[in-house]
Structure formats: structure tokens, C-alpha cells
A and B are shown apart, each in its own frame.
Chain A
Amino acid sequence: MSSDAGSGDLRARASRVAAMVQRHWYLLRHSWPRALELVYWPTVQMLMWGFLQAWLSRTTGSAATAAGAFIGGILLWDVLFRGQLGFSITFLEEMWARNLGHLMMTPLRPGEFVASLMVMSVIRVAIGFVPVTLLAIWFFGFNLWTLGLALVAFFANLFLTSWSIGLVVSGLVLRNGLGAENLAWSLIFLLLPLCCVYYPLETLPGWLQAVSLCLAPTYVFEGMRALLLDHAYRADLMLRALALNAIYFTLACAAFSRLFAAARRTGALLQIGE
């Protein structure tokens, strides 16, 4: 009986997560500018970096640029950036629609809400990422999909980092109101110079390398370069990234939980706005 109750409870939880995904899928379907934006920026970025890479490759003969380290970097950076944005924007959609009060009066639990944000971040990245990788093949002959199973490890780690940042951003917006929404676009850019998207770790000064090594995406971008330049899959780097992500994701969940409780204490769920 208890296992029946347990599986029923699990079904109910999955159904509520699916309801939230359905709600945001409807929203994307109803708004072509929202859907277009998911493809537009990644395409612009990929083209700009792709042409820069082509020029550098011709003029400097760099092995890294020839191997596609730039364009690979930008594609994986986009997974991290758009993954976080997908999570945070889906959350902000509820704030903008002033729907959070409605949702929090339903049996939807915060953990289920977060799970739906994670699913939506994957969906939103996929909508933008797949066409852009196909365009990269067409324009520059760079096929990211040839990285094969390593991509799964790269994606898993990048999504985990993006969700950790998304959780903190969403919690801060929940606690402080929409005045904090710019964090959804700005906070992640702190990682761009630190996690070695376009250059190897040794480019950074020593003290900054120590900081960089505390960030999970650094290992993903190092792993990508190892695969493209040395044709070596570095499982050790992925495991280190995973361990760091486990710590950051746990901390981010705890932060979101505390900020959510603080929002209930201060009445912020009722006064969503500036």
C-alpha cells in the first residue's frame, strides 16, 4: 500500500512538473518573438566567432583555431549561458505575468517548480542549439556532434552549472522583486573570462588560475580543447567538474529554499513587482 501511495505521489509530482512545462510550452507557441530569440542570438554569436576563427586560422595558421576551438567554445558557452537564461527567464515569466501567487496556492511544491524550470531550460537551449550547430557545419565545416558521447558529459556539467546560477538568480528576484531581474543577464558573464572559454587555463595569471579551477565550466572547456586538439577524452576533468557542480547545486538549492522562505516571511509573494 505504501509503495502504491509512493508511486501515486510520484505520479502526482511528475504531473505537476509536466503541467508547468505545458504552461511554458504554450507560452512559447503563442509568442513567435520569444521563439525567434532562442535561435537569433546564438546564430549571431556563432557567425561572428566563426568568421573570426576563419580569419585567424588563415592569417596565423593557429592549430587551435583550425581545430575549431573558438567555435566549439562559443557553442558550449551558449549551452551554459542559454541554459541559465532559459531557467531564469522561465521563472521571470511567472513574475512578469504575476502568476507566482496563483501557482504557490496550488499543490505545486517549490522543488517541482524548480524541476519544471530545469526542463524548460533544456527545451529552450535545444530549440536554439540544434539549428545553430547545423549552421556551423554549413558555414564553417565544424561539426560539434562528432565529439560524440563526450558532448553528454559536457552538456550535463554545463547545465548543472547553469541551473545553480539560475536558482540563485531566481531566489534573489523572488526575495528582492523584479528590480533584481538584470542579474539574469549579467551574473553569468562573470564566468566568461574566468572559466577559459576561448583560451587555455595557463593563459590566466597564477592566482586567477586557482579561482578558475574552482569553477566547474573551466574543466568542460579544457576538456573540449583536449578533445579537439589532442583527440583525448579527459574523464578526470569531467569528474572534477561533476564534483564541483554537486557542491554548487546543493548550495544553490539551499539558497533558493532560504530565499523562498524569506519571501513568504516578508510577504514578497503577494507584492511581486519593483
Chain B
Amino acid sequence: MSPMLQQPAREPAIRIDNLVKRYGPVTAVAGLDLEIAAGSVTALLGGNGAGKTTTIAMIMGLVLPSQGCIRVLGHDMLRDRYGVLARMNFESPYVEMPLRLTVRQNLAVFARLYGVPGPVERIRTVARDLELESLLDRPVGRLSAGQKTRVSLAKALINEPELLLLDEPTASLDPDTADWVRAHIEDYARARGATVLLASHNMAEVERMAGRVLMMKAGRIVDDDTPARLIARYGRSNLEEVFLDIARAPSQPDLAGGETRA
């Protein structure tokens, strides 16, 4: 194929330049540079306080960076956040849906907020895909943890997002339900060509789902590769051992200034 006929390179789904977040004297994110390819599944790993949640919150625009630039799906999140929010979504078992509303009411409200065309049909589709049909008229507060996770996932998929941000999507689920949720996310990402950024402490989950792993420590990315190459490079048998090697290695000095969260 001649160079003239080649497709232009697809813009990364997420592009981060020199991202810094300081909370007073504490530096939560210390100069992050990062590109995440469109259509990829990437995992963000790191111990507690490594800066994963702050990074994801800044990508969503919930937290303003102290410094740096974030582009999501071609939009500058500091200047044009509302131009892109309808094309992304988020799921975390730690952020519950309103408990008194039924599953259908919650999904109807979020469908309307995201401007989903044909919301009734879309709710029917996600409810069928996530096996929520029999729960649609039940208040979210009366559901089990696994059912709530499926409802949160239904909310996250209601607008068919091009970018899906997941914060420990299978935490507190039994292995069977967790496996089912992972399979559904993988199916969705494959079918939609969606980009997935996943923060997780479950290394088996990351090995299975992610094509790329970003290891965070003290607000920085300290390693970045495929799960297989990371395991090979550290001479370990699985990602959990790699994680422990990185987590227990001494931290680098803070280049961005201020103390960092260890």
C-alpha cells in the first residue's frame, strides 16, 4: 500500500502530558506522561496511595490537576470537558447508585442525563445483556453486592461509551460473578471497539483482561508493558509477584517537588 493511501494514525483515546496533582504538601501524581491507544484495554496498577484514583478522577474531570494537560477522545479536559463526557463512562463498586430508586428509574435518569436516544429500548437491551430484567423494578438498596455491580455496569454502559473507566470493577464479588462481569466487559470492549482503562488490585483479572499494564508508585509510572513481558522481565511467574517486587522496591526521589504518597 502506498503511503498516500494509508489511514491516518488514530488519535490516542487518552493523552496525558506532565500531569501533576498536589494536595497541599502531598504530591499525589508527580509528572505523568501517558498515551492510551484507542480500542485498547489498559490496567493501572499500584498500591494504595500510588495515585491511581487521583489519575482516573483527573481524566474524568472530577479533580483539577495542579499542572499538565489531559486530552480525552481529542478533547482538552480542562477546557472542553462537556464536549466529551457523553462519550465516556465510569464504574466502581465504591460509588453506589441511589439506593431508594429502582434499577429502571436509576437507568432512566442516567440515560436522560447522557442524552441516550431511545432510552426505553436501551434500558431493555442493557438489562437483557446484564441479566437484570427481573430486577428492573426493585430498589437498588435491596440488591446483593453482585447485583449492584451489574447495575453499576449497566449505568456505565447505558450511553455505549467509547471510553470506559473502571475502578476495581470486581472487588467484593464471588469468583463466578467476577468472571461473568469480566467477560461482559471484554465482550463490550471488543464489540464496540471501546477503550478501557482499569484500576485493579486483582492481578489475575489484569493478566486476563489487559493488553498493557501501567505500574504506578508514588504518583509516577514506574513500569509499562504487556503483562507477559513484565512477568518475563522481572523473572517472575505471575503479575502479583511483579507487583510485589515493584511495591517493595525503594521509591525514587520526588522530581515534581513536595512529598509524595508512598
User: Which of A's residues lie within 8 Å of B, judged by CB?
Assistant: 12, 15-16, 18-20, 22-23, 26-27, 30-31, 97-99, 101-109, 261, 264-267, 269-270
Shortest distance from the beta carbon of A273 to any chain B beta carbon, whole Å: 12
Q: Given the interface contacts A30-B101, A99-B98, does A107 sit within 8 Å of B115 by beta carbon? A: yes
User: B98 touching A265 by the CB < 8 A rule?
Assistant: no
Shortest distance from the beta carbon of A21 to any chain B beta carbon, whole Å: 10
A274 and B97 alpha carbons, distance in the complex (Å): 20
Residues of A contacting B62 in the complex (Cβ-Cβ under 8 angstroms): 101, 104-105, 264, 267, 269-270
A20 and B101 alpha carbons, distance in the complex (Å): 13
Minimum CB distance partner of A98 in chain B: B96
B95 at the interface (CB under 8 A from A): yes
Q: Given the interface contacts A23-B101, A99-B97, A99-B98, does A108 sit within 8 Å of B113 by beta carbon? A: yes
Contact partner, B110, options A31, A106, A269, Cβ 8 Å: A106
User: B57 touching A106 by the CB < 8 A rule?
Assistant: no
A109 and B100 alpha carbons, distance in the complex (Å): 24
Interface of A is mostly: helix
User: B64 touching A264 by the CB < 8 A rule?
Assistant: yes
A106 and B61 alpha carbons, distance in the complex (Å): 10
* CB-CB contacts below 8 Å: B1-33 with A: 23
State the total of A-B contacts with C-beta under 8 angstroms. 90
B60 at the interface (CB under 8 A from A): yes
Contact partner, B85, options A23, A105, A269, A270, Cβ 8 Å: A105
Q: Given the interface contacts A97-B98, A105-B89, does A22 sit within 8 Å of B63 by beta carbon? A: no
Residues of A contacting B82 in the complex (Cβ-Cβ under 8 angstroms): 107, 109
* CB-CB contacts below 8 Å: B88-124 with A: 88-90, 95-102, 105, 108-110, 112-115
User: A261 touching B64 by the CB < 8 A rule?
Assistant: yes
20 more CB-based (< 8 A) A-B contacts, given A98-B96, A107-B82: A19-B110, A22-B109, A22-B112, A23-B101, A26-B100, A26-B109, A27-B100, A27-B101, A97-B98, A102-B90, A102-B95, A104-B62, A105-B61, A105-B85, A106-B85, A106-B110, A109-B82, A264-B64, A269-B57, A269-B63
Residues of A contacting B146 in the complex (Cβ-Cβ under 8 angstroms): none
Q: Given the interface contacts A23-B109, A104-B62, does A266 sit within 8 Å of B23 by beta carbon? A: yes
Residues of B contacting A27 in the complex (Cβ-Cβ under 8 angstroms): 98, 100-101
Contact partner, B113, options A19, A101, A269, Cβ 8 Å: A19
Residues of B contacting A103 in the complex (Cβ-Cβ under 8 angstroms): 113
User: A270 touching B108 by the CB < 8 A rule?
Assistant: no
| B interface size (C-beta, 8 A) | 33
A16 and B100 alpha carbons, distance in the complex (Å): 20
A155 and B53 alpha carbons, distance in the complex (Å): 45
User: B23 touching A105 by the CB < 8 A rule?
Assistant: no
Shortest distance from the beta carbon of B139 to any chain A beta carbon, whole Å: 7
Contact partner, A105, options B60, B99, B102, B139, Cβ 8 Å: B60
Contact partner, A15, options B53, B85, B115, Cβ 8 Å: B115
Shortest distance from the beta carbon of A245 to any chain B beta carbon, whole Å: 29
Q: Taking each of B97, B98, B108, B155, which has the highest tally of chain A beta carbons within 10 Å of its own beta carbon?
A: B98
Contact partner, A264, options B63, B90, B155, Cβ 8 Å: B63
A15 and B89 alpha carbons, distance in the complex (Å): 19
Contact partner, B64, options A97, A104, A108, A265, Cβ 8 Å: A265
B54 at the interface (CB under 8 A from A): yes
Minimum CB distance partner of A34 in chain B: B100
User: B97 touching A102 by the CB < 8 A rule?
Assistant: yes
A30 and B101 alpha carbons, distance in the complex (Å): 7
Residues of A contacting B88 in the complex (Cβ-Cβ under 8 angstroms): 105
A31 and B110 alpha carbons, distance in the complex (Å): 21
A108 and B61 alpha carbons, distance in the complex (Å): 13
Residues of A contacting B155 in the complex (Cβ-Cβ under 8 angstroms): 102
Residues of A contacting B99 in the complex (Cβ-Cβ under 8 angstroms): 97
A29 and B214 alpha carbons, distance in the complex (Å): 46
Q: Given the interface contacts A22-B109, A264-B63, does A107 sit within 8 Å of B100 by beta carbon? A: no
A12 and B112 alpha carbons, distance in the complex (Å): 9
